[in-house]
Amino acid sequence: MKFGNLLIAGLITGSIYAAFAVCIAVWYRVSNILNLAVGDFAMIGALGVDNLMRVKHWPLGAAVAATVGTVAATAYVYDRVVLRLAQDGRRRQEGIVITFFFTFALSFFIDGVAKVLFGTDVHAAPPLWSGNSLTFASGLHVARAGILVLAFAAIVGALFTLYIRYTLSGKAIEACGENYLGARIVGIDNRKYRRIIFVVTAILAAVFGILESPITGYTFSSGATISFTGFIAAAYGGFQKPGRAAVAGVAIGVLEALLGGYVSGQHADTLLYAILAALVLIRPSAMGLETAVGG
């Protein structure tokens, strides 16, 4: 039963990675920017709800609404002010500066604000479905929060897939990522899509944080780790393919759990990172991350 329990734990962690990977990949597709602040939105979701309820004694619904609203507003303002100045002006920034550093700076900023607001202790939003782990006859244990996470990840994944496959605006998103100017010329407002997807993924990340925090607990600096794993999983999807990113996320979660359970608890992470790096280096071109030769 050890394997079963590890597998379930891995699936839950993996679905978390997958969710953030999808958020990163979907937005990269429209904007060609990596959202390295996605984990920080999750952290704000978890710690914000916790703080409003525990310290300010707000009811759950109000706390969730206020926190998610704040995250959405932050994302909206960030896009309207910073990304607009960086991308929509006369000098459109491209390359590594815009790909990495603007959201990286946002991540720093959010962490700094969270440190001031929430302190440095580990906290978590209250579980939305409280109670002990569900135990099945066969000896499998499943945390209730884990089930919520899995369900939410599956729903979000399915919705994104349907949206991109079957709706016109989903197709438009694809076009934005393929060719910025080309998409603009045929009348697709990439700026609008960039903004909408950024805000939507920020909200989703915050909700994930609220659902997931009872499992792992968050501090003001947890966001970076989440963004990091999401980034890695998204990378295995070539940053462009949310579906592949989701699969990669789940696989990484399962691998991590199995390594922790069977090889060594202490070295599980190190080993995992080494495997992940090696996988990229075996065939660097396989992930489709290198820019094509022009011509």
Partner 1 sequence: MVTSKVTLGAARGAGGLPGRRTLAGPLTSAGVVVGVGVVVMALFAQAYVGSVFVLALTYAIVTAGMAVQIGFSQQVAFSQSVFMGLGAYGVAVLNTRLGMPSLLAALLVTLGSGVVALLLGAIVSRASGLALAVATITFPFIAVGFVSSASYLGGNIGMPLTGSLWPSASSTATAVGNGFITVAVAGIAVFVATRVLSSDIGLELYVLGVDEGMAMANGVSTAKRRLELFVLGSMFAALGGAVYAGTQLFVPATLVDATTELSLLMMLFVGGRRSVLGAVFGAFTIQYVSGQSNFVSVNILIVEGVLITVVLLVEPEGLAGIGMSLVRWVRRSVPALAARSAASATGAAAGGAVGGAATGAAPARAGNAAPALERSAAPGLQGADGDGPAAMTDGSWDAGQAAPDFRAAWQGRQAPQGAQAPQGAQAPPGGAGPAASMLLECAGIGKDYGALRVLDDVSLTLPDRGIFGLCGPNGAGKSTLLNIIGGSVAPSDGTVLYGGADMARLPPQERFRRGVSRTFQAVHLIAGRTVLDNVAVACLDSHRSSLATGIVRNRLNEARDKAMTALEYLGMRGVSGTDVSSLTLEGQRMVELARAIASKPRLLLLDEPASGLSETQRERLKQMLRAVGELTSVLLVEHDLGLVAATAEKIFVLASGRLVFAGGPEGFRNSEVVNSLLVGL
- Binding region for partner 1 (CB under 8 A): 82, 85-86, 91, 93, 95-97, 99-102, 104-113, 115-116, 224, 228, 231-232, 235, 239, 266-267, 269-270, 273-274, 276-277, 280-281, 284-285, 287, 289-295
**Distance in Å, CB of 101 to partner 1, minimum:** 6
Give whichever of 110 and 211 is closer to partner 1, judged by the CB atom.
110
Numbers of helices and strands, H then E, in the chain:
13, 2
The one-letter amino acid code at 97 reads V
Of residues 111 and 212, the one with the C-beta less far from partner 1: 111
Compute the least distance from the CB of residue 107 to partner 1, in Å.
7
- CB of 288 closer than 8 Å to CB of 238: yes
For the CB of residue 95, give the shortest distance to partner 1 in the complex, in Å: 7
Q: How far is the CB of 175 from partner 1 (least distance, A)?
A: 18
Instruction: Decide whether 83 or 124 has the Cβ nearer to partner 1.
Output: 83
Locate 183 and state its tokens: 């998409």
- In the complex with partner 1, the residue whose CB is nearer, 196 or 271, is 271
Residues in Cβ contact with 242 at an 8 Å cutoff, skipping those fewer than 6 apart: 21, 22, 25, 26, 29, 157, 160, 161, 164
Helix, strand, coil shares of the chain as percentages rounded to 5? Answer: 75, 0, 25
Tokens 């794993």 belong to which residue?
A: 229
